[in-house]
Structure formats: structure tokens, C-alpha cells
Structure 1
């Protein structure tokens, strides 16, 4: 029998942890409160008497007026949780059967301490009844009870009820019948079998909500960014009722018809696609108006109030800048140029020098091809100069100092030159006019032995392609 006791204890503890209605969001729980030990079930009384006096705490229950149990538990899925409970008590009321009679008598065994360690398998019915507050449950398990000479392993079973008055906090009650395997029991008396009642608070925890939006990571489609429950935890930054991932303009409130983008001038073209977002215009002209009706948007019409053919830029006269090249053939109709350069001004050495004076001041983030903030005005100035010479082509060249590996410097120089080229293209310079190349550390213009020399060698150059 002693080996059987040890087996029950081992099985109970390996069974795991138990509690009320944890879930996959908050898998862990801790409960604590008061327990009551009712030894009346150790007497072989009639079954109807057992249930009629089940809650007769005054006559039968032993209660220690302090926190006398603690339970730690973990949810494992499918409404099941596993756990371990530790409890203490003082036995001052012990029920024994009266000899020759089905009735019983209550005795005081003296200073009898009670200690219990129990493993429990718990099943919650809360999901089955569709409640989020009332949580009935049933449990089985086993453990070991130390109660003087009646210490023994037990097999347990019972029912429980928890009232969740907050998401993670509940009032819980559990009644557990513990059937003892005490070696001292007689056919009529099992002095260690009893019912133990537990009443206290239960706290669930362990749920992970990285972005703190009240939606657990496992249910959050955007766990790193705070969002809204109606969008499964994803944000709606501009508050227009369209989540950012489906919003073509996530930072500016817009309409569903425009995929979350605004249409300021109401011409049916979203501002982001409207070349003239403040003034209504037809879709054929990208939302820009055409005051003179010549089919050329006002912003591109050199004579917006007077009709003119497209080949003359919307003007009725053929050579607006009087450079001898007709507007229809003049690639720079508003700036005097030369016939040899298709009506555009030719790039002088002074212009190339000015471009490279700007290029030397382009600053990148250390070891990267991304621009530092103060560089953007410089890039804008270079863009403006290139737009003055729309018929000229340029090469963007990148160079580094000698720090680091040759291959790394070569790649970095290529990426930086490409970054400048891509920026200029984004700002309206035709891609056909630009090329880029990197030369790593192979073409220094200064020594690499000083900090100043290295700074000079880390550079971008702009060259005219003739």
C-alpha cells in the first residue's frame, strides 16, 4: 500500500497544473484563498445525509481563518487545464460513526495539522454554455494528504464554479472529494477520506500584447503596431475607417471610393494621382484644367489663355524664345539655346564645376547609401540645374576612402552613385539622361592617411557625357 501511495503522488504531480478557465490568451493562473476540510465523508453515513448536510460548515468544516491554499495552473487547450494545489489547515472537528448506528459523532482530535499537495485535471464548461462570466467546471486528480496518522495518497474528484468579474480576475469555489488510501481504515471507517472546499480569488496571466492595444499577439494581425479590434489589431492612422494596409493614403483621411485617399477638388481623381489636386480638371489631363480648351493642361500650356497647337507648346507662335529653333523642334522653348543642341543651352565648364561643388557636399549615413537630412537641399539644387539643360546627359560617379575591404567599398560606391541617380529620376530627370558608376577607393583625390583626406575621397562627382 505504501508503494501505491507513492505512485499516486507521482502521477498527481506529473499531471501538471490546474485552475479555472484559463485560455490560450492567458494560459497561466494563480488562485489563493481559504480552504475548509469536511471530514464527515469519512463516516459511513447514509447517502441522503451526506448531501443534506453538505454545506453544514458550522458542525463539520475545519477552516483556518487565513490564506490557506494556493494554486498554480496552466491551460493546455480544448477547455482543459492542469495544475497543483498546496493547502494547510487545522483539524478540530473529526467525524466518526457511532458504534452500531448509522449516525455519526464529532470529536476534536486535538492539535492535528493538515497539509495537502494535489495535482488536478480541470475541465471548464464556460465555452460550452456560451458564457464569458459564469464558469462551471469539473476536475479529477490525486495527491497526498498529511493528517497525523491518517497521512496517505488520495484520488480526487469534484466540481467548481468561478465568477469572472473582470477579464483576468475571478471569484472561485471548488469542492473536491478526496478518497484516501490510508492503511489504517476499517470496513466501516475511512478516517482520511474527506471533502475539501476552496474559495478565493483567481488571477489569469501570461498573455502577450507587444503593442499594448488590448489585443493579444496571437490574435493580432499587426502585433508590433497598436491598432483597433475591428481591424484585428491593425492601425487606421488617419481615422478614416480604412485600415492602413488597405489604405492607399494611410496618413491622410479619405473616402472609400478613393481607397482611403482625399479628393480635394472633387474631380473624381485622388489627390495622390491628381497633377492639380487643388483645381478640378478632366481625367484625360491627370486632373488639371485646360482653360483655353486646346487639349493642353494649363500647367503645361505656355499660353494657357490662348489656343495653340501642341507642337508649339499650346501657343499660336512658333519660336517663343527667339533662338532660331521652332518651338515644335525646340526642346527648351522658353530658354535660348543653340540649334546644335536642339534649342537648349549648352553645358559650360562653369556649370559642371557648380554641379560638382554641390556634389561634394552630398552626405550619406555612415556605411550606407541613404542620405543624411541636410543633403536634400543639395540634391534639389542639382536637380534644378539639370532641368535647365534637358538635352544633356550626365554620369554620376561614386568614390570612397580606403577604410574597409575593397569589395565592400566598391559596392558602397556603386550604391551611393545609384542612389543619387534614382533621386534625380524621381524628381523628374529623364532616366535616359543619367548613368551611374562606382569606383570604390581606386581613384582617390587626396591622401587616405588623414581624416580630412579620407573625407575628400568620400565623394560623388557629376560629369557631362558628350
Structure 2
């Protein structure tokens, strides 16, 4: 009864204190049948005899039921530590009949029942697996070292253990385990109920690995799963690839649309290097500066917004060139004379030539006023009409009308008279269609003569109207 209690405690201790099996499933439990062979120490605990170890019908003590339990935990790099509790009944005790003979060929022994002695063992071990070294997934040879405490009948003693094992893995978590362990006792004698003999314990059973966590059920353990809460694929460390573009969703900027790695998993239908979601024209190759749209005429206006796709024009005019009605190189919007060809320097209007100015002043010199007045003589009207026509040819140019007199009479009177005559010409021009903002009038009297005032002809030349171009 005492031994049964000890065995139960050993099982509890094994369940609580054993340690790891492999990095994916850190725990393993093994159970099965064990056999105890006492023949190896039949000459004495200090001398081992390894002959006929497989003679099971004479040497092995077997309890025909589940008789051992092992719990272990993997520690990394092929090493694991574990605890084993075993139970058996010793009904075959091997003794040497002729101890004086020293060679195996002359060993004589006999087997007897020492009284169905109860057997209990509690053993701790460090195991090294060669499976990774040989590169297999199913063939798992191992070496183990450790120690334990054995109870045989009324005797008990500590042992130093060492052995070999072999596991055949049917799947990642289930395997058949075979193991043989030499348990070396330090008792000097090997009397039943008095000593614990050095012996070999063989074990055969099933082993189950467990403890690996796979939250999302994708077959990849959480510790190796970059997306442990989402079902994924092994090639992406357990992460999904919803659009099947070869880029895991966690690294895919467009997880629902297949794309390229260069664009972080986003599609680019037109191949212009701009992803569809940022491309204003996803089906027509364009440029980044145009938000992915083409610009056929290179005017900076995308074709979709360009009313003149093949002709360059400003954005303000929807991609079309501004009209230039008179063809002078100045757009109508900037041309102060849109229907009359001019120069850029003169805002699209024609520049007044020296010839035109000469003609204006030739006409102006022939303007005749009534004597001492600012009213026109009748024959002057065609001259005024001719001046008006010339000014209309230059609609953006400004002119100054200047009045001059001879030196006859008072200077003050002459100045007022010249001013009123210049004003009269100005008024006529305005009345006949010349913009008032283009004209100014000044009277200079007798200040600037162009001929002598001593002769009638000279005084006639000094009485004049001049037209000056204002720049």
C-alpha cells in the first residue's frame, strides 16, 4: 500500500514538473508497457553481464497493462527533460549458478520467483534527439541520461540511468516510442527484499505531443504565425493574401485588389506607375504631374479637361489657344486692336508711322479759322475729316493738339486764341468718333514760331495747328 501511494504521488509530480518536447508542441506525454530485466547484474551489482538480453521468456518481468507514464518538455536545440513513473511485478529473478567462471561462454544461471515483488520507479532524464541532425520528420533516435529512485519489494535505492530511444512519428503529434534504459544501483548485494539490483528497463508505448497553440486554425502555430488571429497561408507566415497577388494582406496597401509588389500590392491598370485609387485616368497611361492622365499636346491640361487635345493652349482657355483675329501675334484677350493688325509692343495695335504723322501735320497746317476766332472756315471741313480718318487707324494711340499764332496783337490774347482753336479741333474729333481719353489740347500762342513774323507769309506759317504723338 505504501508503494502504491508513492507511485500515485510520482504520477502527480510527473504531471506537474515535467518539461518540454519540441518548439511547436512543447509538451509530450507517453504511456505504455514496460519490462524489467534483472539478468544484466546476476553476477553482482558491480559487474554487468549483457548476454541474452532479449531472452524475454526467461528474463523480462512484464505487467500486461499500461505500466509507465512519461511527461517531458522540450528545452531547445534537440534537448528535452522529463519525468517517468513506472510500475511492475518482479516474478523472474536471475541468479548466477557458477560465479567462479569468468567468461560468458561458461556462465550458468537460473531463474526463480522471488515472491512477486512489487516494482515502482521514479526517474528523471535529459534526452537528446538526433532527428534534426539526420534531417527526418518521422525517424527520431535519441540518447537519455538521468537518475531515479527504485522500489523493489521492501528494498529501495537510487540509480544512475542511461539509455537509448527510438520514436516513429505517425504524424506531427503522435508516435510509437521504444526505449531501453540501464538503471545502475549502488547496492553492494542483490538479495530480494534487501537490495535493488542493477537492471535494464524496456518501454514500448505511444507518445503524444501537445501544447502548441493555433488560434486561427490555419495549421501554423501562434508562435510562428505573424497573423495569429486570422486564417492564413504558410508561405506568408500564417497571414492571408485575400487578393492572391503574392503579397500578404498585412503588407498589402490594397488587400482586396490584386496588384504588384512594386506598388505595395495595389493595381495599376494602365501601367503608368500610378495606382488606380490615385489615378484620375486609371485606364489611360499618363504622368504623375497630371494625376495619371495623358496630356497629348503637352500644354499642362489633361486630355480629359482639354477642349483642344491636339493643340497646346492655356488652362484658362480649357487647353485651347487664345484666338488672334487680326493675326498680329497678340491674342484677342490682350489685343487692344483685335481686328487691326498691330505690334506686340503696342498691345496689338498698329504703331503710328512717321509718314502718318507727317500726313497729319500737313493736314493740320491747312486748317483755316475765321479771323480772330476759333470757328472753322467752310473749306476746312474735308481736312478735319481726313485727320479724323487717320486717327481712327490708330485706336490705341494718344495725340496732343497744339495751337499756335503769329505775333500780331497782345500775347495774352494770342495764347487764349491758340488754346480755343486747339480745343475746337479736339471737340470736332471727339464729335466724330475719337475717344476723348486719347486727345489733349494746348495753346501756346506766339511762343514757338516756325517762321518770321515780319512778313505776311511768315506770319501765315506761324498761325498753325500741330498734331503730336503722345508716347
Alignment of 1:16-415 (within 5 A): 17=18, 22-44=21-43, 50-100=49-99, 102-182=107-187, 185=190, 192-290=197-295, 294-301=299-306, 308-314=313-319
Bigger radius of gyration among the two: 2
Q: Secondary structure at the match of 2:154?
A: helix
Q: Secondary structure at the match of 1:151?
A: strand
Per the TM alignment, residue 178 of structure 1 is displaced from its structure 2 partner at its CA by: 1.2
Change (3 A) 1:54 1:183: closer
Task: State the distance in 1 between where 2:66 and 2:116 align.
Answer: 19
Alignment of 1:451-462 (within 5 A): none
Per the TM alignment, residue 33 of structure 1 is displaced from its structure 2 partner at its CA by: 0.8
Task: State the distance in 2 between where 1:184 and 1:293 align.
Answer: 106
Task: State the distance in 1 between where 2:45 and 2:68 align.
Answer: 30
Task: State the distance in 1 between where 2:274 and 2:314 align.
Answer: 27
Q: Deviations over 1:28-75 (max 9, x none)?
A: 110011111111123028999944412222221111121111111112
Change (3 A) 1:100 1:311: closer
Task: State the distance in 1 between where 2:154 and 2:187 align.
Answer: 9
Pairs aligned (count) = 308
Q: Deviations over 1:394-447 (max 9, x none)?
A: xxxxxxxxxxxxxxxxxxxxxxxxxxxxxxxxxxxxxxxxxxxxxxxxxxxxxx
Change (3 A) 1:230 1:282: same
Change (3 A) 1:143 1:84: same
Change (3 A) 1:247 1:289: same
Contact 1:151 1:192 in 2 (8 A): no
Contact 1:156 1:179 in 2 (8 A): yes
Q: Deviations over 1:237-263 (max 9, x none)?
A: 211112234433222101334442222
Q: Deviations over 1:47-106 (max 9, x none)?
A: 999444122222211111211111111122232211111111122211111154542111
Per the TM alignment, residue 16 of structure 1 is displaced from its structure 2 partner at its CA by: 5.5
Normalised by the length of structure 2, the TM-score is: 0.57
Task: State the distance in 1 between where 2:308 and 2:47 align.
Answer: 106
Q: Secondary structure at the match of 2:57?
A: helix
Per the TM alignment, residue 127 of structure 1 is displaced from its structure 2 partner at its CA by: 2.3
The CA RMSD measured in Å over matched residues stands at 3.7
Per the TM alignment, residue 195 of structure 1 is displaced from its structure 2 partner at its CA by: 0.7
Q: Deviations over 1:299-341 (max 9, x none)?
A: 43467798753123335689xxxxxxxxx9xxxxxxxxxxxxx
Per the TM alignment, residue 175 of structure 1 is displaced from its structure 2 partner at its CA by: 0.5
Per the TM alignment, residue 279 of structure 1 is displaced from its structure 2 partner at its CA by: 3.5
Task: State the distance in 1 between where 2:223 and 2:19 align.
Answer: 23
Contact 2:23 2:74 in 1 (8 A): yes
Q: Secondary structure at the match of 2:39?
A: helix
Q: Deviations over 1:97-138 (max 9, x none)?
A: 115454211112233222212111222222233332222211
Task: State the distance in 2 between where 1:151 and 1:304 align.
Answer: 103
Task: State the distance in 2 between where 1:114 and 1:18 align.
Answer: 25
Q: Secondary structure at the match of 1:277?
A: coil
Contact 1:239 1:253 in 2 (8 A): yes
Normalised by the length of structure 1, the TM-score is: 0.58
Q: Which runs of 5+ in 1 are unaligned?
A: 1-5, 319-327, 329-466
